[in-house]
Structure 1
Amino acid sequence: MKILVTGATGIVGRHVVDQLVQAGVSVRALTRNPAAAQLPPQVEVVEGDLTAPAGMAAALEGVEQMYLFSVADSAREVVTLARQAGVRRIVVLSAASVTAGLHTNPVEQAVEESGMEWTHVRPCGFMTNMLQIWAPSIRAERVVRYPFADEPMNLIHEADIAAVAVAALLEDGHHGRAYTLTGPGLVTVREQVAAIAEALGEPVRYEEVSRERARELMKAQGGFAAESADLMLGFVEYGGEAAGGADGYAEQDWSALMRVWPDVEQVTGRAPRGYAEWARDHLADFR
């Protein structure tokens, strides 16, 4: 058995690779820059880009299962090449917002129409998203500046997303399923900051700021923070359209994302990791 992991150096992809290696599976990892991949030595690392599927033929050769990072524009071409290469099972990294009906995912649609076995993994917000936004100010000042102090969020540990994906790749019985993945409970920004402080063993100050001020700070930070600011703070909806309500979310129904789903435990046999565990796992990033 050989499994191709696309997005192999990403937040979830690295965990998928590591967990497959631990399971004793032959793994081929697709990345744009193999020299910088820093994956386990037993992994076959190949160069490739999902946005340029014509160059993926070699990466797909001999592959039976595939973990597919969602790239909408080239999805149908990638899926067609996979089917032609003999891939029989695909697990798609999608999003819980699809379950909520906030948008559709053309990658899901392409895979469903392919005739191959498929499973969709739909996580809610990543706990790690805030790492990239908050870590610089925590390291420099031991402070977090962000709005929504006491509004509950549904967040998930990236290792749990990978665990469900790996189960769907290796086990039978997951074909035709879409798993919505959440953590064990809702958590507020204030509680997240407190969990990080507890992991550090040092005070971390929380300063609630307006959405507008948070947007300024994130845009100035650059990188992921700047790119995701408008969506995370509610200035745009999924799909990039301007948000309709005064708070940025009024025109969308988020109720499906505000409940705890049982899918992680049903698939893996254990409860999902909580935010405090995530904070401990990422302690070095905050130091």
Structure 2
Amino acid sequence: MDRAFLFPVFGALDGFLASAKEAGTQHIVLLSSDSVTFSQPGWIGERHLACEQAVAASGLSWTFVRPTVFMANDLGWAHQIRHDGTVRGVYGSAAMAPVDERDIAAVAAHALLTAQPGKSYELTGPQALSQIDRVRIIGETLGLPARFEEVPREDVRRGLLDRLPPPAADFLLDQLAATQAEPTPVLPTIEQVTGHPARTYAEWVAHHAADFGG
């Protein structure tokens, strides 16, 4: 195996990296996160940064792919959309630039094929959209009733704690709060790398129509 793509399994990369080096693997492409570039990476960014450091310290050639929030995360709204058309959350005006998972995959494939040592790709979608905007686009694209309802932060935090440790939940909520005043900047990286524009949120919704009941 000349090259490998790594999904970040926190704390579990060292064994693979040692075996890859011994087997003669030449290049690693690591899925990381744009949170490693933040002035305060937080709980999630620190774990991605640890993965990057492990890959860099292995002595293998590497490329890092650093997307912002995945559009696919919004599949967590599907049950609420199907149930009563109301997405309940906090910081509805927070504007991030979510990225289609197909575009992330295309950049990762490019990184595997070209193997540019020491290259990092920071990825965003083509639009900074608030949660309110995204719920509206789901409804308009699929012809479904859909609206965003603001609820207290603590209610959302309790739901996140069902699947995340407290520091991770707090990081995600703090990141949302920060983008109310300062939307996520939109980057041209995906088009520069792949030759096609980053997919819009509406295109992503149409691709996942069945998940939302459309």
Give me the TM-score of the superposition, normalised by structure 2.
Answer: 0.85
Using the TM superposition, give the Cα deviation of residue 107 of structure 1 relative to its aligned residue in structure 2, in angstroms: 1.8
Partner of 1:8: none
- 2:27–2:61 Cα contact (<8 Å) kept: yes
Q: 1:214 aligns with which of 153, 156, 176?
A: 156
Q: Is structure 2 residue 7 aligned with structure 1 residue 64? A: no
Q: 5 Å matches for 1:180-191?
A: 180-191=122-133
How far apart are the structure 2 equivalents of 1:232 and 1:262?
A: 24
Q: Is structure 2 residue 21 aligned with structure 1 residue 83? A: yes
Whichever residue aligns with residue 176 of structure 1, its letter is G
Larger RCO (CA within 8 A; separation ≥ 6): 2
The ranges of structure 1 where at least 4 consecutive aligned residues each deviate by more than 3 angstroms after the TM superposition are 216-219, 226-231, 247-250
Partner of 1:195: 137
Query: Which residues of structure 1 form unaligned runs of 5+?
Result: 1-62, 238-246
Partner of 1:266: 192
Q: Is structure 2 residue 85 aligned with structure 1 residue 159? A: no
- 1:121–1:178 Cα contact (<8 Å) kept: yes
Partner of 1:231: 171
SS at match of 1:118: strand
Q: What is the CA deviation profile of residues 142-183 of structure 1, one whole-angstrom value per residue up to 9, with x for unaligned ones?
A: 1111121222112111111111000000124x2211110000
Q: Is structure 2 residue 43 aligned with structure 1 residue 117? A: no
Give me the TM-score of the superposition, normalised by structure 1.
Answer: 0.65
Using the TM superposition, give the Cα deviation of residue 210 of structure 1 relative to its aligned residue in structure 2, in angstroms: 2.1
Whichever residue aligns with residue 24 of structure 2, its letter is G
Q: What is the CA deviation profile of residues 88-146 of structure 1, one whole-angstrom value per residue up to 9, with x for unaligned ones?
A: 111000000112242441221122233322100001011111212x1111111111111
How far apart are the structure 2 equivalents of 1:136 and 1:223?
A: 16
How many residue pairs are counted as aligned between the two chains? Answer: 206
SS at match of 1:74: coil
- 1:154–1:185 Cα contact (<8 Å) kept: yes
Whichever residue aligns with residue 162 of structure 1, its letter is A
SS at match of 1:285: helix
Partner of 1:171: 114
- 2:91–2:177 Cα contact (<8 Å) kept: no
- 2:94–2:178 Cα contact (<8 Å) kept: no
How far apart are the structure 1 equivalents of 2:26 and 2:184?
A: 34
Using the TM superposition, give the Cα deviation of residue 217 of structure 1 relative to its aligned residue in structure 2, in angstroms: 4.7
Residue 218 to residue 95, structure 1, CA distance change in 2 (3 Å): closer
How far apart are the structure 1 equivalents of 2:127 and 2:52?
A: 27
Q: Which structure has greater helix proportion?
A: 2
Whichever residue aligns with residue 233 of structure 1, its letter is L
SS at match of 1:214: helix
Partner of 2:204: 278
- 2:33–2:66 Cα contact (<8 Å) kept: yes
Q: Which has the larger radius of gyration?
A: 1
How far apart are the structure 1 equivalents of 2:10 and 2:171?
A: 18
Whichever residue aligns with residue 86 of structure 1, its letter is G
- 1:64–1:89 Cα contact (<8 Å) kept: yes
Whichever residue aligns with residue 163 of structure 1, its letter is A
Whichever residue aligns with residue 272 of structure 1, its letter is A
Q: 5 Å matches for 1:37-48?
A: none
